[in-house]
Amino acid sequence: MFTRGNVWEYWPVFLHGLVLTVELSLIALAAGFVLGMAVGLARTYGPGPVRLLCTGFTETFRSIPPLLLFFGAFYGLTYATGLALSPFQASVIAMTLEASAFISEVVRAAFRSVDRGQWNAAQALGLRFWAALWTVIGPQAIRVLIPPTIGVYVAVLKDSSFASIVGLVELTRAGLLVRETVGDSLTVFLLLSGIYFAINFAISSGALALEARFRFAH
């Protein structure tokens, strides 16, 4: 007979899944932020053809469901390139594409929210484009950028659970394996929910502190 106490005997399995989820998310979100920032700036300030290309990238990967991104990265890229991607590598690619698409839109909106007069003032001071972007426009856009970016991070972190469909034993998959072993679905699902809540709460709390610091500094 299965008992709820059996679940806690498998804490190393949950810990392994949690570490893998955090590692996967950190890599993908960091790469997604860099790529999203580049695409967002190109959409905002690039020449016409570049803006069109970057807009196509953003709209394409914003519209594809995460499930298809994971399948496409794992099976599609392997078929198209002949490279044998591991489940972890494919998951990083899928999450990076998802994060970058949404972050690029956030970046574009944040930089466009800065009043045009700020550009005029920077030009009047003799600042070149990149200097003005770095010293005048960027700091103001960052304050607008933080809250929606954290929202993207939380959503993408939760979507890391789709990595289980390509064979990666991240947190959700680890929980499902324990459930299949001990049969206590309720405890496993409550535990998984609590862990995801704790991670996202920590991210949101850190974002609020960072946002408050930027407001105080400026």
User: What is the model's pTM?
Assistant: 0.85
pLDDT per residue as tens digits for the range 5-40? 578 888 889 999 999 999 999 999 999 999 999 999
Q: Residue 146 is part of a domain; what is its CATH number?
A: 1.10.3720.10
* Cβ contact 127:136 at 8 Å: yes
Residue whose tokens read 């914003």 = 62
* Count of domains observed in the chain: 1
* Cβ contact 36:107 at 8 Å: yes
Dig out the tokens for 40 from the structure.
């967002």
The whole domain housing 191 covers 5-217
Instruction: Identify which of 98, 105, 90, 107 has the alpha carbon closest to the alpha carbon of residue 168.
Output: 90
pLDDT per residue as tens digits for the range 34-87? 999 999 999 988 888 999 999 999 999 999 999 999 999 999 988 888 888 999
What is the reported pLDDT for 1?
39
Region label for 183, one of left (φ > 0), alpha (ψ between -120 and 50) or beta (otherwise): left
* Cβ contact 36:216 at 8 Å: no
pLDDT per residue as tens digits for the range 169-207? 999 999 999 988 888 888 899 999 999 999 988 888 877
Q: What are phi and psi of 133, to 5 degrees?
A: -65, -40
